[in-house]
Every structure is written in C-alpha cells, then in structure tokens.
Structure 1
Amino acid sequence: MEQQRRAAIDGWYHETQSSQQRHTPLDPCQTEPDSILLGLEQKIEPSLRRLLTQRNGLLFAAQTCYNKLFPKSVSLSRFQTLSLYDRLSSALTVAQVTGIQPLCSHYAARLAPLNCPDASRESNIRQTHLAQYARLLATQPTLINSAMLKQLADVGLSPQDIVLFSQLIGFVSFQARLLAVVNALAGRPATVLPGFPRPEDNDQRGFSLQLRSWHAFLPEVDLHKASKEQLDVLDFCAPDARESSFYRLLLQDSATLDALSAVTTHIMQQHGDEKSALKEWAAAATSRINGCLFCAGIHGRYYLDCGGETAHIDSLFQDNEVKNVAQSSIDPLVKSVKTLTQAPEKFDASAIQPLVNAGYSYPQILDVLLSSALFNWLNRLIQTLGESRPA
C-alpha cells in the first residue's frame, strides 16, 4: 500500500476512494444523447451488446466528458481562447489520423456549420500550430517536448488552454479506440483507406519497475488560491491528489479532470471489483507501446501485485523494438493491444479472435481493450505535459 500511495503522490495513478455517484453530472447533456458510440453498438449481436449496456456508467461518463469538451457554444476569455471551431477541427484531425471513418464523419458534420477563423497571418499560424500539435500527439506522443508547448503559448494559448487541448486530443484518441472495439465486437471488417500511413514504433528505452516522479512543464494551480469547486474535484480524484504535480496541473481545467476521473474509475475500478491483473497488464503493455516510462512502471508493479508473472514484465520491458516485443510474446493480449494502440483502423474481429482462442471470456476481453483505450488517453497526458525522472 505504501508503494501505491507513493505512486499517487509522485504521479497520477487513479486509486480513488470516492463514490462513483459523485461523478454523475448534475447538468443535462448539452449535445445529442449519443456522441460516443455513434450508434455503432446497434450492429453488435444482442448477447455481446449486453456487455456494453452493463457499462452504462462508463458511457455516461464519456458522454459527459464529450459535452465538456465540445459544448454547443464556447464563451471565450483571456484564459480560455480555444473556440468551438478550434476544438472540433482538432478533433477531426485526430479522428483522421486514427482512420476511424464514422468518427471523422461525426466531427466533420459538427464542424461544417461553423465559421472559419479569419485569414490573417496570425490566425493561420495559430491554426497551423494547433493542427501540427494535434496530429503529432495523436500519432507519436514521444516526440512532444516542452519546446512545443512553448510554441502553443507563443500563439496565444494559456496554460488552461494547453491542458484542455491535450485532454481533447487524448479523449478523441480514446474514443477512436472505443469505436474500433465496438466495430470488432460487431464482426465488421476494418476499412483502411489506400495510402494510409503505417504507424511507426517508438524508440523509447529504459523501461523498468523503478519508481519515477513526474514534474509538470506548465504552471500548476496554486491550491491556496483554488476555488472550493476545484478542491472538491481534486479530493474526489485520488486520496493524495493534492500532493500530485499531475493532478494540480490538470486542475487548470477542472471540468475535464473530473470527467477523466469518472471515466478512469468506471474502467479500472468497477464497483466491487478488485484490481485486475488483466487490466493492469493491458495498461502496462499499452504504456510500453506508447513509450510511456512512467505509466508502464506503475502498472507493471500493479500487475505483479495482482499475481502477474515476472517473466511477462521482463519480456515487455526489454530494450528492443515494440514490434519485436509483440511478435515474441506468447500472450496474444500484447498483439491485440498493439494493434488497437498503433493501428485502430485495422482493429477488427480478427484482432479479438486470438484472445477468444486463448481462453479469455468476452467480459475479460472487453476489460483488456477498455483499459488499453483508456491508457491511449492517459499516456498522452503524462508524456506531453511534463517529464518523469527516477525517484
């Protein structure tokens, strides 16, 4: 337990003791009722569809996050300069690089009625930086550095803007993979556009179970000046969230932090569910594939705490290409997670079948894939908004 508390203090690990009811939003949905699965779940045969309906809390939490990021209108201020056009055009960019066509169509339809920004030089430069950052964070998060965050600040984004922008990219990355899972459960073949770029493996090295600390690149919220609402959100995120640099930074936009916390709770800690070795293994594998040293180490330790095999971690953390790690693993889970993480547009029923053949039940498979989808969101926040160092 001390190790778990240390991880929460040094980083973000979500070991909430809050009630899930805390995360039920009091405000009604501001957009169409299903902007998450886009109706694709109707194509799943009834017995598998029930697996999703049993996750209504998760889907409601994800819808709430969507509503916070993409409301019908956005009031701009000195601290909040990302317009609805900025948000939806960036979401469309992320959807396009994931190759999930229904998601592209959804964000394109919401973007279409909006007026484009003016054609001034400054506006064009700003839009270029937003698109480049969104594309890079969605595809190769290990390449984002503090200099790129400064570039966003140089074109007028506040720390609150940058946090919200990164949350937005992470959320759409999560949503794309959620839709890929739904498509696979429906047994539909993947549709890959001609010439779609092949994802590249990252070259991150140094994976281990060593404790690491995390330090923000951007100003954190001063808790002495925080509002009661901000402090309430922080306290419901994790027991030691006030001591966490990561949580204090994400508190720059407390609404999205609250929504992220709810989604994380519903995936990683269902009511009455003990920590799951399968979920932790999927989290560690996804983090390894994304090149996130911090998350891979934490969830590698949690996997072992849940009775996981040391040999699996040793194989996962060896310093070679992710491609080789997936190919050499005797566990098909790593291969499925790799496809979902690096090429969601190719994730279909054929990516699930090896898990079925290996004896995993469909509830277990869904647990694994939801955990992986979540960490495609969380890894992007950890990797780009700060840096981790050996503790």
Structure 2
Amino acid sequence: MSDSSGTDSTDIIDFLAGIHAGEHVADLRRNRTQAQTNAQHSFRVLLEAGDADGDSDGGFTDTERYVVAAFVAGLHQGRGVAFYTDLLGDVADTAVVDAVTESVDAGLTVGPYGTYREPDLVGESVGGPEFTVDPRVRGVLGEKLAAALEFAHLLVFHPRDSRPERLAPLAWCWWTPRQVVSLAQLISFLCFQLRAAEGLAAVKAADSTHAPLGDSSVVRRPGTAQEPGGFPPLTGGAFDVLSYPDLHRPTRFVSHSLGWQPWVPPVEEKELTDRQRTALVDPMRAKSAYFRLLAHDPDALEARTLTDKDIFYNVTDGAGRAEREISAAVTSRYNGCVYCASVHTGRALQESTGREEDVQRLCDEGAGADLGSEMWNAIAEASVALTSTPVSFGVDHVRRLRAAGLDDGSVIDVINGAAFFNWANRLMLSLGEPELPARFR
C-alpha cells in the first residue's frame, strides 16, 4: 500500500463518510471509542496483515485481500468504490484492476435474496442471479481468487443461499480453514464498514437544507433467478467441509435459543493457543464451536468482539438496549439469519416490557411487520434500508428516527447495530447452520 493512502492514521469509516474532526457526528462517534478503535483495527488486521506464514498453499496475501475488498466495495456501489479500487491499484497491475472492475459490472444486482431451507419459510424465498467469474477474468485472477469472488458475491447479495456445498470450491482451491475464516471475516467486515459509513454520512447530511434523500447514482439491477451450478465434493480438498444430513433444524424464525453447527472445522478446545484464548475475550466462549471457528483468525475475532460489545453494551448514553437489539433482530430477519434473529428477538424481549406480540409479528411476518410503536417501526425501516444492497439508507430515515424521539447519538447506535449485524449474519450464515435444541423438538 502506498504511503499516499494515509491509512495508518486515517479513520477509514470517518474518511468514507466525509466526517472531519470537530464535527458534530465525529464527536458523537467518539462516545463509542472501543467500537471506533476496533472497527479501525479490524481494517488493519483484515486488509494489512496478509497471511505469509509459509503455509504450503501460499497464504492469503495482501494483494488477494485488496482484490476481494475492491470487488465487495464495487458491488455495494457506494462510498467505498474509489477508495478500495485505489488501494488495489497500489499493489496490482492494470490487468488485475480491470478484471475486478469487469467482475463488479457482471455481478451487480439487488439484495438480499435467496432460498430458505426452513420449510415454513419457503414462501418467503426470493430467487436471484448466480455469479460466476468469466473464464477470461479467471485466467487473469486464477482459480483461487475466482472462487473467493464467487463466495463474496454470495455473501454480499444472498447469504441465506449458503450451504456446505458453497464452501467446497474454496476447499478445492486450497483455501485452508484459517484462510476461509479470514476471507469470510473480510467480506463480512466490509459489509459492516460500508454501511456504517453510509449511515454516518446521512446523519451529517440530514442537517443540510439541500440534503439528498439517497444515492440516486446506484444501479438497481434485479437480475434473473438462476439455479446454482454443480459443486465439487465436500471432501478431498484442503479440508473436509462438514455437513449434517440428520440435523434437527428449525423450521421458522423463533425467539428462543438455538444451537449452531460449523461447516468448516473449528479449532479443538484443547488445541486453542494462548493468543486464541485471549481473542475469545470471554473464556466461556471456548465451549462454542462458532467462536472456536473464528479463533482461526484471532486478531480479527478479538477486534470484532470488542466492536460488538461497545455497540450493544455501552449504555452510558445513546439508544436503549431494547432499541439496539431490535435493530439487530430486524436486520437478521431481513437477511434471513434464523440463528441471529433467535438471539436478538429474545434479547429485545428481555430488554423491554409487554412487547411479546410485537416481537412475534417480526418473527412471523418479517421485517415489514408493525412493531407496535413509531420508534420501533422507524428503527425497523432504517435497519432494512441499511441492510439492502445497494444501501438505500438516507436522510429521510435519519429524520424519521429523530421524529420518533431518538437524538443523534441514539441514531448512530441504531446505524451501528444494523451495520454490525450485516457482519454477524454473514458469518453465521456462510460458515454453519442453526440446530434446534432437544427441548424444543
């Protein structure tokens, strides 16, 4: 990366949002110092700490990470396109940059879409295009990066189409479990970062007399529903993709607890290193297959966990816990993450009183359900707009949140909550699946 990029000292979310020190939004953002610091640290560990540890598969290099980042930013069509394309141009030749740009143009569509595997949700399935890297582009980028871009398109636009079979192309291109986790973290982090920047820019713009209502320059191309192509076997690659033919799966969205089973082999509890245990933050997470899976990339896990805790549990000011949880729950419902929705509808119930019917409507009817109050409905609308790809959140959403009684610090908490769960949902959906505990069968 060239010195001219200035990423060593620049807060990337502030930069993308057009926020400057001393401005109202910049000052409010400092109320979540841990979230801000660790979002920036996530950028560094995922974009500027390429895997060059001598593994036989060659690692996950910085240049490969910039290729993926430029592709993901391009698919979002927002504020990050020029930034990430420039970063790629610092380290790659013109042919690679052109190949990524061509892939972005071929992959543009509108999300989220996808097919539910849960029987009671089949009627909510929405078809959409399957992205395949063009053979000529594949010749420029190579099979390993082509598989990564196809996986990235899945996560950006239709993460609920994730299945064990979707990981097999990565395994057969010799992505190791550690590198698959880093790849999923990178894509999912960018889905958070770009949404946070769009949301903060809208808060800043909402005070302008001539503020635009949204970005009218994005291309909203629905695409044509397609069936996925054939996938290689689950076994025989760099790792064996795990699958569970007899798993007891949930049939719908619920507000009670669920289990979760990984498709990528996690680190065994007895094999966790001291660094990995520190990255878990909470020692009890060593019992969780999900967190032991993310521990393959301990730096990314630790930064993500600290970002999460500040966004949702720092209650010295800003939005109430229930409002933050409903932003997470609506985002998860709209993306189709049954596991995350179960956790955060349950927490929304714990943090509120008398909202059982409202939360049940969210589970049953979806993200457009009437949640029983103008504040919750405004949060739901904002969360859906932030979750859409391309992002459709704008100053009209900020003004509705303000009118519902939220100050700007609280609005930023809602933005952060929805943006963060665009990170969390994609990890949960792409790396494993929910399981119905025995007591609920």
TM over 0.5: yes
Q: Which has the higher contact order (CA 8 A, sep 6+)?
A: 1
Q: Which moved more, 1:339-348 or 1:302-311?
A: 339-348
Counterparts in 2 of 1:275 and 1:240: CA distance versus 1, 3 Å: farther
SS of 1:163's equivalent in the other structure is helix
C-alpha displacement of 1:45: 8.6
1:124-135 equivalence runs, <5 A = 124-135=142-153
Kindly indicate whether residue 222 of structure 2 is the aligned counterpart of residue 244 of structure 1.
no
Cα distance between partner residues in 2 of 1:77 and 1:326: 54
Amino acid at match of 1:314: Q
Select which of 321, 328, 332 maps to 1:287: 332
Retained in 1: the 8 A contact 2:181–2:297?
yes
5+ residue gaps in structure 2?
Answer: 1-5, 100-136, 206-210, 225-249
Paired position in structure 2 for 1:59: 36
Paired position in structure 2 for 1:305: 350
Identity %: 23
What is the CA deviation profile of residues 107-156 of structure 1, one whole-angstrom value per residue up to 9, with x for unaligned ones? Answer: 11110022357998595322221111111101111012111111111011
1:1-391 equivalence runs, <5 A = 31-38=8-15, 40-42=17-19, 46-71=23-48, 74-78=51-55, 81-100=59-78, 102-115=79-92, 124-187=142-205, 188-189=211-212, 190-193=214-217, 195-198=219-222, 206-234=252-280, 236=281, 238-270=282-314, 276-308=321-353, 309-319=355-365, 322=367, 324-325=368-369, 331-343=377-389, 345-391=391-437
What is the CA deviation profile of residues 144-180 of structure 1, one whole-angstrom value per residue up to 9, with x for unaligned ones? Answer: 2111111111011000010000000110000011111
What is the CA deviation profile of residues 239-266 of structure 1, one whole-angstrom value per residue up to 9, with x for unaligned ones? Answer: 4201101001001111111111111111
Counterparts in 2 of 1:195 and 1:232: CA distance versus 1, 3 Å: closer
C-alpha displacement of 1:30: 7.7
C-alpha displacement of 1:57: 2.6
Amino acid at match of 1:125: E
C-alpha displacement of 1:70: 1.1
SS of 1:340's equivalent in the other structure is helix
Retained in 2: the 8 A contact 1:326–1:334?
no
SS of 1:345's equivalent in the other structure is coil
What is the CA deviation profile of residues 171-223 of structure 1, one whole-angstrom value per residue up to 9, with x for unaligned ones? Answer: 000001111111101215332335333599xxx97111132100111111123
Retained in 2: the 8 A contact 1:264–1:374?
yes
Cα distance between partner residues in 1 of 2:419 and 2:159: 15
SS of 1:186's equivalent in the other structure is helix
C-alpha displacement of 1:76: 4.8
C-alpha displacement of 1:105: 1.1
SS of 2:369's equivalent in the other structure is helix
5+ residue gaps in structure 1?
Answer: 1-28
Retained in 2: the 8 A contact 1:57–1:266?
yes
Amino acid at match of 2:419: A
Cα distance between partner residues in 2 of 1:39 and 1:212: 37
SS of 1:388's equivalent in the other structure is strand
Q: Which moved more, 1:219-228 or 1:59-68?
A: 219-228
Retained in 2: the 8 A contact 1:134–1:169?
yes
What is the CA deviation profile of residues 26-51 of structure 1, one whole-angstrom value per residue up to 9, with x for unaligned ones? Answer: xxx98343223216343699334321
Cα distance between partner residues in 1 of 2:359 and 2:301: 30
Cα distance between partner residues in 1 of 2:373 and 2:142: 46
Counterparts in 2 of 1:57 and 1:115: CA distance versus 1, 3 Å: same
Q: Which moved more, 1:72-81 or 1:218-227?
A: 72-81
Q: Which moved more, 1:69-78 or 1:376-385?
A: 69-78
Counterparts in 2 of 1:48 and 1:383: CA distance versus 1, 3 Å: same
What is the CA deviation profile of residues 46-87 of structure 1, one whole-angstrom value per residue up to 9, with x for unaligned ones? Answer: 334321132333211111111101117652532662221211
Cα distance between partner residues in 2 of 1:315 and 1:307: 15
C-alpha displacement of 1:354: 1.2
Counterparts in 2 of 1:264 and 1:327: CA distance versus 1, 3 Å: closer
SS of 1:214's equivalent in the other structure is strand
Counterparts in 2 of 1:169 and 1:65: CA distance versus 1, 3 Å: same
Retained in 1: the 8 A contact 2:361–2:371?
no
Retained in 2: the 8 A contact 1:280–1:300?
yes
Cα distance between partner residues in 2 of 1:298 and 1:60: 26
Retained in 2: the 8 A contact 1:285–1:296?
yes
SS of 1:280's equivalent in the other structure is helix
SS of 2:433's equivalent in the other structure is strand
Counterparts in 2 of 1:355 and 1:344: CA distance versus 1, 3 Å: farther
Cα distance between partner residues in 2 of 1:194 and 1:364: 28
C-alpha displacement of 1:355: 1.2
C-alpha displacement of 1:91: 1.0
Cα distance between partner residues in 2 of 1:206 and 1:46: 44
Retained in 2: the 8 A contact 1:69–1:256?
yes
Retained in 2: the 8 A contact 1:241–1:247?
yes
